[in-house]
Amino acid sequence: MAVLCRPATEVPEHVITMDDTLAIARELHRDHPDLDLVLRLISHTGVRKRHLVQPIERTLNHPGFESRNELFLAEAKKRVPPVVRRALDHAALRVEDIDLIVFVSCTGFSMPSPTAWLINEMGFRPQTRQLPIAQLGCAAGGAAVNRAHDFCTAYPDRNALVVACEFCSLCYQPTDLGVGQLLSNGLFGDAVAAAVVRGGQDGLGVRLERNGSYLIPHTEEWISYAVRATGFHFQLDKRVPGTMEPLAPVLEELAEAHQWKVADLDFYIVHAGGPRILADLGRFLNVPAEAFRHSRDTLTEYGNIASAVVLDALGRLFEEDTALDGHRGILAGFGPGITAEVALGSWNDRRSDER
């Protein structure tokens, strides 16, 4: 077994509200033939505010892919270590106790991975294993938890650290005027999140018991990046909001394989790509809207923060402090592919090893 401990999340200091977003869209795209549609779609995202690594004036200026990627790395080096330290504190572990670092991001690129910098900068052991994940988008948060779970299952006395670093605002493309791109300009936000998966039975958090992956066949072009000289251009197919209908049975089948019923669980931590995702998933799973309150709160307060969503939503479950030992739940991330990464677990309140 392995225990997913309390996550830590940090968002940047620069804030843009929904009113700001709509005003900017009206100003920049006043002649766009689908402006009314874009404004309506953005208004229906449920996002109240988002956080950005730069002031909005600088965000709207595109200095080129090289400069954007350099800024990603600089901001990651500044913002990731404090979040990692908080996650380690939540798990009552030290850097030398970590055996694997899973680092996920779809908004910047470097080789070697930022894991190498983290190991050197923060004093992790040189033997620490590295698993960077760069191409699963929003599903990567769930994938990171699942790969950490797999590692701790193979090595029961080891511990893994999961880090999600997403600066979506650095992917803003001022020349992209498609409806999907303009919608994304009002949906995505920036955040860093981290959590520890402890090997063994001890720790306050979610005792991970089973995980699974699923790819909807022939949907790989529905969520994608066009990689161009100006960087990553987000592409979103209009069919994406309907993907919960084929994915809901996947969650049901995984729960049934574990002799659980997905409609009877005590907590639900899912990627909040948008309000329709949550509404449809609740309808297809026969789960009340209230069950997704943590995911909805993340969307409302931070926007879609990509792979960091599931960690932040899980952190809100900890903050609520209503889960009891043995409560059963599900964690799911959805992203390009179309891919689902799903985990099942029970609330665990064994803390004998904590300092």
Tokens of residue 224, six digits: 């994608």
H or E element, residue 234: strand 231-236
Based on its alpha-carbon atoms, the radius of gyration of the chain, rounded to whole angstroms, reads 19
Q: Which of 5, 138, 165, 171 is catalytic?
A: 138
Q: Where are the beta strands (DSSP E) in 145-230?
A: 159-167, 190-199, 203-215, 223-228
CA distance 311 to 322: 17
- Cα separation, 207 vs 159, in Å, equals 13
What's the CA gap between 347 and 327, in Å, rounded? Answer: 5
Residue 281: CB atoms within 10 Å: 26
**Do residues 117 and 50 lie in contact, with contact meaning Cβ atoms separated by under 8 Å?**
no
Residue 49 · residue 55 · CB < 8 Å = no
Cβ neighbour number for residue 133 with a 10 Å cutoff = 21
Element (H, E) at 253: helix 244-257
- Taking Cα atoms as reference points, which of 138, 285, 265 lies closest to residue 209? 265
SS3 100: strand
Torsion of CA 153, 155, 161, 166, to 10 degrees: -50
47, 188 contact by CB (below 8 A): no
For residue 283, what are the contacts with CB-CB under 8 A and spacing of at least 6?
none
Active site residue 168: no
Instruction: Tell me the sheet residues that pair with 103.
Output: 132, 163
Preceding omega of 305 cis (within 30 degrees of 0): no
Is-contact 187 303, C-beta < 8 A? yes
Q: Show which residues are catalytic.
A: 138
